[in-house]
Structure 1
Amino acid sequence: MSVLSSLRRLACCLLGMLPLLAAAQPLRIVTEELPPYNMTLNGQVTGLGTEVVQAVLKEAGFADTPIQVMPWARAYDIALNQENVLIYSITRTPQREKRFKWVGVIAPTRWYLFSLGGRTLPVKTLDDARRYQTATVNEDAGEQYLVDKGFRIGQNLQSSNRYELNYEKLKGGRVDLWIANELNATYLVRQAGDDPARTLQRALALTDLGSEGGLDMAFSLKTPDALVERFRKGLDAIRRNGTYESLQRKWL
């Protein structure tokens, strides 16, 4: 092979790597405090979702990339509008489908409207729920879902920036319902020193909220496809080698 041909092949290889090289340095990872999926303990970000993401980062060659924890509305806005942003643990909904490049499921979830244990509300449909005050988190999937169904913030929705505030509202009688995923709700109730079996009642299952399988990790649209595919392969790899299943057993 001539020197010229070799140089041409090298140039082609380098050009093909440019999307990854461009994304390697500025990759940003954002999440929120959503225990037990993502949470800060002793100054370290951990949780089921976090550990799955960290395992994928290692497979993809980004093990040293820091994870930033912030209120969900801010993390969501960053992922919507900036380049090379990875966000987790995010619910995949029809409203969000074309707003992100999806990597895959990292943890299970089931959404409910919860009422306070011992207080049975006649809620069999969302239309029934409209008559009551429901606690939500600003711009999270539950709030977006209810707004899309015709609920209104400040009318029959009370929005907060922190999930634990919603349990306090429910327990204190300031709201009638709380929209939350089951793992997060039961974790927060236990952290408050209460028994979820006694304190929480599943008023209505929201089976159409989120994709089948659970919470996802996703990239901003302004992320090279090559980088997204690299992370998809990383997630596939930890599923094949048993890491994913091991982490699920550890946290669930």
Structure 2
Amino acid sequence: MLSLTVHADPVRVLTEDDPPFNLREAGGQIGGVATDMVRDIFQRARLPYTLELLPWARAYNLALTEADVCLYATTRNAEREKRFLWIGPLLVNAWAIYAGPHSPDRVRTLDDVRPPAVIGGYLGDAVAQYLVDRGYRVQQI
């Protein structure tokens, strides 16, 4: 009988705080629906890994610039398609805009939030970039 053992360096697996998909739970452990799936994938593949929760822009940058780094859960779009090797999808998630209490009364379509309206978004987020590319004013944090 032949037995083969492969010793690989752990894959550095990165994510952001984005409940309910990935989040820091009480006690400091990283949890969430997507995190549970990623853990299962690595366990089934018998690959060593470390798991870190970082600000989105930092995690994304590390995935672009360092070897043996895996990033989840991220939006797959045309711009990102060529930058990564993809596994998945883990989840399918619809995009939405929520109007606050001081927003115009009738926000029904994207046209209702064209400039001068300002939309809040996250720096480096696919949704924010999608809106910026189409001429919307997005204040990114």
Equivalent residues of 2:10, 2:50 under 8 A apart: no
**Structure 1 stretches of 4+ moved >4 Å:** none
How many Å separate the matches in 2 of 1:119 and 1:47?
34
Structure showing the higher strand proportion among its residues: 1
2:67 to 59, 83, 97: 83
The offset of 1:129, in angstroms, is 1.9
Q: Which amino acid aligns with 1:158?
A: Q
Aligned partner of residue 68 in structure 1, secondary structure: strand
**Correspondence for 2:23:** 39
Q: Which amino acid aligns with 2:42?
A: L
Q: Which amino acid aligns with 1:38?
A: N
Equivalent residues of 1:115, 1:121 under 8 A apart: no
The offset of 1:158, in angstroms, is 1.3
Bigger relative contact order (CA 8 A; separation at least 6): 1
The offset of 1:30, in angstroms, is 0.6
**Correspondence for 1:149:** 134
User: Does 1:56 find its partner at 2:37?
Assistant: no
The offset of 1:121, in angstroms, is 2.8
C-alpha RMSD of matched pairs (Å): 2.3
The offset of 1:108, in angstroms, is 2.9
| CA deviation string 1:114-173 (max 9, x = no partner) | 113695334523x4422211000110111121122233xxxx21111xxxxxxxxxxxxx
Superposition TM-score, scaled by structure 1 size: 0.49
How many Å separate the matches in 2 of 1:122 and 1:116?
10
Q: Which amino acid aligns with 1:135?
A: G
| CA deviation string 1:185-204 (max 9, x = no partner) | xxxxxxxxxxxxxxxxxxxx
How many Å separate the matches in 1 of 2:91 and 2:34?
6
Superposition TM-score, scaled by structure 2 size: 0.85
How many Å separate the matches in 2 of 1:112 and 1:121?
15
Q: Which has the larger radius of gyration?
A: 1
How many Å separate the matches in 2 of 1:26 and 1:54?
13
Q: Which amino acid aligns with 2:94?
A: R
How many Å separate the matches in 2 of 1:69 and 1:91?
17
User: Does 1:100 find its partner at 2:100?
Assistant: no
Within-5 A mapping of 1:1-252: 24-42=8-26, 43-62=28-47, 64-116=48-100, 120-125=105-110, 127-131=111-115, 132-151=117-136, 156-160=137-141
How many Å separate the matches in 1 of 2:37 and 2:104?
37
- Counting aligned pairs with the same residue, the percent is 35
Distance 1:119 1:129, change over 3 A: closer
